[in-house]
Each structure stands twice: as C-alpha cells, then as structure tokens.
A and B are shown apart, each in its own frame.
Chain A
Amino acid sequence: MAKVTIDGHMIEVPDGTTILQAARMIVEDKDYVGANIAPPTMCYYSKLKTSGGYCRTCIVKVTKGSEKDPRPMPKPVASCRTNVMDGMEVQNLTSPDVLEARKGVVEFLLINHPLDCPICDQAGECDLQNLGYGHGMAKTRYDFKRRTFQQIDIGPYIKLHMTRCILCYRCVKTADQITDTRVHGVMNRGDVSEISTYIKNVITNDFSGNVIDVCPVGALTDRTFRFKSRVWFTKPMDAHRGCTKCSGKVALWLKGTEVLRVTARKNVWGEVEDWICNECRFEKKNIHDWTIEGPRHIERQSVISANHYENLAQLKLDVQKQQKQLSALK
C-alpha cells in the first residue's frame, strides 16, 4: 500500500496504482467534498492496456517523489502513466504551473480541430468540448489554415472524419485489443498522421463499433445515427436484451418510441462499462427488441440533462447532498 496526497487529499492505494487512478478514487470516495481533483483525460482509457500518455492533458506536478526520495520530479508527469510511491505529494488544481501547461495542451489540441460543433454528432457529449470549457482559453491565437482530410467510410456503419481527430490512439488500441486482427493503425507522422484501416480495409469484426464509443471527439461516428438528431433532444434509457455475443446491456437514445442510436453504457469517467457487439449497436433499432430498465442517469452539468425527465428527481437529490455538505462544513 502507498499513501499519496493529491491537492491536499490523502488516500491509501495499492502499489502499482497510477496517480490518475488514485485521484479518481479520492473523487469516488464520498467523504471528500469539493472540486473534482481528478485530472481530465483525452487518451487514457482504463479498459485499454497501454493507453494514455499521449494527449498530456492529465499532466500533474509531483512536489515530493516519495518518502524515501523526497525530491520533486523535474518535469510535469502524465498522471495516467505514473505510478504512485509511498509518501508522494501531487499538485493538480492547486498548481498554477499545471493549469498553465494544461491550457497550452488544450490550445494545441484545438489548433487543428475544426470548430464544426454545430454540425458534429458528438456535440453535447464531446470530451474535447468539456475540456475546452474547463481548461481552455476563450479565443484561439492560431490564425493559419487548419489541417483537413477527406472523410472515409469504414464499412457500412462507421464514418471516419479524420479532420476532427486528436490522435488519442484509443480506437487503435481498441481495434488491437478487443479484435483479433489488426486492421486499423496510424499512417504518416507529425501533424499529418492519420488513423487508417490500412488502405481502407473494412473493419468487419463484431466488436468494431466500440471504436465509436471510445472516440473522445467526433472523428468516429455512427453512420446509422449521423444527422438524425442532436444528442440533447434524445431520451437516454438503460435497456438490455438477451445477446449471445455480448452482455446486451446498452443505453438507448430515443425520440418518442423510435430508437435513434444504441451505445454502450458509460461510467462517470466517460468510459464504457461493457463492450457491446455490432448487432446490438447497429441492427436492433426497434424498441420491441429491448427490455427498458428506466431512464439513464445523466450528469447535471451535461447539456443532455436539459430535457431529461430524470433530471428533476436528481436535482432534488443533488440539492439535498449539497445542503448536507454545507452543514457539515459549518
């Protein structure tokens, strides 16, 4: 076990835990009141091995290396790939240097990202939008032409819009790790690197649709849902069906009784709980295919919660929780 302090919150975690996981544990631990001290992530995905370390949004400052070696680390480190040591002290939101560096990373991620949110299917559930609001600047200083690519159809269900890609490598790792054959990689280098199925080989694997869910931006979108609706006009429902290939536990995105989209369920960190198969995702678009469990919980901060009827009950709960926390502080 190792004791680690992040922004003044101390927690004891098993050896081999990363700083990011420790921070998430602190947030999940209901005893702590206050700001979300878990660093934002764009490329790290706890379900994918060797993911993380690329986007640099989760960088933190280690002010004390460990009990044995208290020297601070010379450079900011990627919290998703740095293991905790006993006695480590980490600064995330409390370090102006980290916030400044993170602002820089957000700016770098956005300089070649098209500002086409009004026509992007990901808008409303986009990690980059959230990151931009939370940590970015109001204006861009980049006044050159942005990098663009042709859109590619990867098979009948998935659209690759490389222009929006931030090269997080999550889809590459997904294709690598949950499917048998690697048909999906990166070509070229630098700012013209490109996610590719290597000369447009179609992904035919049963679980290939999961690359849509892991994509933090709108680079990989569901062709059966494209331009059907804004995501905040849909009603998210938890549902399941008896599926032989996957767990069959999904989130349905409804308009009236019409199933517009099926996705995997995501947890509070925006990560898929169970991978789902392409049959559930793309082919079961009739409401009678599914057993509806109830409305899906949507975070109050999310734009999707605007017309969500679960919202009222949740709002009441949140207010109660806040009052409790305030009285605890007094």
Chain B
Amino acid sequence: MGKKLLIQHVNVPNIHTLQVYKENGGYASVEKALKSMTPNDVVEEVKKSGLRGRGGAGFPTGMKWSFLAKPEGVDRHLVCNADESEPGTFKDRYLMEKIPHALIEGMITSSYALGAKSSYIYIRGEYFYVARILETAIEEAYAAGYLGQNILGTNYSLDLYVQVGAGAYICGEETALLESLEGKRGNPRIKPPFPAVAGLWGRPTVVNNVETIAAVCPIVMMGGDEYAKIGIGRSTGTKLISASGHINKPGTYEIELGLPVEEFIYSDEYCGGILNGKKLKAVVAGGSSVPILPAELILKNDKGEPRLMSYESLSEGGFATGTMLGSGGFIVYDETTSIVKNLYTFARFYHHESCGQCSPCREGTGWMEKILHRIIEGHGKPSDIDLLWDIQRKIEGNTICPLGDAAAWPVASAIRHFRAEFEEYIKNPQGIKDVKHYYNVHQLA
C-alpha cells in the first residue's frame, strides 16, 4: 500500500464541504504557513521537497517559483492551470470534483509564498460542473475567513477567481492560457519573455498545474525534507495517474513515484491486469503526446532493468526506447488494438486543436491526419510511411509552442516501434479489414 497524500480522504462522505475537509486535517497548511512561516520559508520548503511540475514537463516547482521577478509596486499572480485537456488524463478533474478544497488550500498557501494578491484558476470549458463545485467551495472559504481581507487575522489578503475557458487544448499551454485569461484569442505567445517576468497583463506570473498546487499543502505540513524521502531519486513525492484503456480497473490512482510499471498494470491495488486476460501490446505512459511504447519496452528498459513509474526511469533510453511520465495519462492497449487507427485518432485530435499561428504545426498536423486516414481506409502508398516520418521530423522542434512536438512524437514512436503494422495496412488493406483482431473488439462489442 503506497503512501497517499492528496486523495487519502477521498472516500470520506461530504469531503467536498469545508467542514468535513477541515475535520480531516484540511486548511492546516494555511494556518501553519501564514502564522509561523515567511513566504520565503514556504518557497524554501518546496525547493527542498524536490517537487516537480505535474502538468507534463516535470520542471522543478521550487526553481520555477524562485525565478519569479519581484519588481516593487507591481502585482504578481499565481494562475492554476486546470485546463486538463491531454487525451487520457483526468486526474485533476477527479481531485477538483472530489476534494475541491485541496486545490483551494494549495492556492492560498502557494499565493502566500509568491506574494500574489489575486490568483486565478483557469478551468477548461468542458469542466463547467467542476467550476461550479469550485465556486461553491470558494464561497465557503470566503465565509470561513480563508480568503478575502486579512486571512486568519494576518496581514495577508487574497482573492481567488475561477475562469472557465472555452475548451481549447491549446489553452493548456501556459502562455496561451494567459492570453485566454486576458480575454484574447488563445494563441501561445512567443517566448521570451517568460511568464515569470511578463505573464498575466504583463505582470510576473507563475502558472502551475492543479496537482502541483495541491501537493504544496502536504509539503508545508510534513516539511520539504520529509516529502523528498517519498519517491525515488529526483522524482519525489506521489503522483496521480489516470489509468484507462484495456484494464480491469480504470480510474485515478495515487502512486508513490518509483512504483514498478509492471506492478501498476497487474496488481489488484491499481489497474488489476489486462481486460479479459488478454496480452499487453503497448502503453502510452503520460497522455497522448508522449511516445507510445510496446509491451517489452514499457515493462523493462533497453538494459533489461524493470521500468519504474518515475520521471527518470520512463525516459531512460531517450525517445529511441523510452517515453515520458508526462501528465500521468496512462493508456493501456491490449493485443487486439490497431496502433495505426489509434494514431489516426491522435493525429485527428492534434489537427483539430492546432491554433494556426505557426506554419509547421498548422499545415503539418492536417497533412499527417490526411495520410493516416488514407492508410486506414486502405488507400495507403508504400511511400506514405517515410513521408509521415519526414513530416513529423520537420514539425518537431520548429514550432512556437510544444503542441508541434506533441503532435510529432506519437507519430514518430508509432512508426519506430510498429512499422510492420503500417506496412501490413498498406500491403494488404483488404486483409486488415477482414482480420478481426485488428479491431478494437471492446469498443465494437
């Protein structure tokens, strides 16, 4: 049984209300931070904890906080990125829906650490009902004196706002999120300047993922050093993983970083094995944009060591044989899955979500989708595989924001590890249509 810090009380009845949340140890970090710590102490604890961004990139949170520019007389902002739109990821929704106060408590403590007087939660449009849950919780927090003027009788005042987006994937990119929050079209900005210098309305801003902010509360309570003991190596603490696909128990799980992947997939505590006793074919370990890995590479790395659920272990071997922890969207495919069809779904998504600012992503994503559509329709050409490879290579790294990379990596990894399947689709289109096991039988049934 791994240690749980974020969702240990998730099954307590009415945990979404402030009173029950408080009875279970809630808002203690606000009391501790505001009454006995300076903002710098909090930043130092977060630095010591080794907490890394849970949104996908895994950048050390303490370092990000210490980069925040602090010019005199200019407001600073903390923005929570609740625009969780990565396909396969639903951990933030689970946390906000079940324990909204965990996020609000984290927002207050983190805002205090950064000296922000107004903070924002930017939530995706599809989560409108979660926004309502959050707003109710914020009202409760205002009534209890955790938000507003002179919180808990101290000098610190904070206003917290929830802003609902319109549901664009690109608004999960931090600068596009800030544009959208300012009321503009959600296009990523060109960096530099980074948000830490000029973010929301040109003011210094920190943008953090929901889970990152929620993890600040246990760090303040137990101390950074203690938190750093959980996990493995530079991957400290716990992580919410949203497991989906062909597994017996899909859902959101909190794991200690460093859990073996094999245990996560097959143990009854977590995914509970592959559905209907089938064999594992492939895994997308961190949301749709990270490289897909075949079963033999996800369970063991290229040196034959067991792979662990951690930032380092999953990226062992680079993109040739590794992947990324990403946002923790763990998608499992059994042997009946068609990787080519799955890739087409991903490519269609990225084509639909490209903002259209820079040319490689705008034109390349559409092109890849059209080629993949042609292949699964049975009209693929032998040259299409190399063409796809060349297109993704010319998108990756050449775009303004990481959406281009996110569109390119799944294509690259699918061709790298499952090239034979693409060839089969092109050589024998009719055969593919007849052979039942290439279909996702679970979705058809």
Mark A residues whose CB is within 8 Å of B.
52-56, 59, 75-76, 78, 81, 100-101, 104-105, 107-109, 111-112, 141-142, 144, 166-167, 169, 185-186, 188-193
Contact = CB atoms under 8 A, between A and B. Distances in A.
A189 B190 contact: no
Contacts of B190: 52-53, 78, 81
B356 A186 contact: yes
Given A76-B397, A81-B190, A105-B398, A54 B357 contact: yes
Interface in B306-349: none
Nearest to A168: B359
B358 A56 contact: yes
Which 5 pairs show the lowest CB-CB distances between chains A and B? A104-B394, A193-B356, A108-B363, A53-B190, A190-B354
Interface of B: 168, 170, 185, 190, 351-360, 362-367, 370, 387, 390-391, 393-395, 397-400
B359 A53 contact: no
8 contacts: A53-B190, A108-B360, A167-B359, A186-B356, A188-B356, A189-B170, A190-B353, A191-B362
Contacts of A111: 363, 367
A258 to B, nearest CB: 39
Nearest to A57: B359
Contacts of B387: 141
Contacts of A75: 397-398
Chain A interface secondary structure, helix, strand, loop or mixed?
loop
A104 B360 contact: yes
Contact of A109 (B356, B359, B397): B359
Contacts of B394: 100-101, 104-105, 107-108
Contacts of A191: 351, 354, 356, 362-363, 365-366
B354 A189 contact: yes
A166 B357 CA distance: 10
Contact of B356 (A53, A59, A141, A167): A167
A190 B359 contact: no
Contacts of A108: 359-360, 362-364, 367, 394
A259 B366 CA distance: 43
B356 A189 contact: yes
Contact of A190 (B365, B393, B398): B365
A142 B364 CA distance: 11
A191 B370 CA distance: 13
A112 B352 CA distance: 16
A104 B398 CA distance: 10
Nearest to A110: B363
A149 to B, nearest CB: 14
Contacts of A100: 394
A163 to B, nearest CB: 14
Nearest to B191: A81
Contacts of A169: 357
Contacts of A166: 359
Nearest to B371: A144
Contacts of B358: 53-56
Nearest to A166: B359
Contacts of B391: 104
A302 B367 CA distance: 32
A109 B354 CA distance: 15
Contacts of B365: 190-191
A59 B358 CA distance: 12
A105 B358 CA distance: 10
Contacts of B360: 56, 104-105, 108
Given A78-B190, A141-B387, A190-B353, A55 B362 contact: no
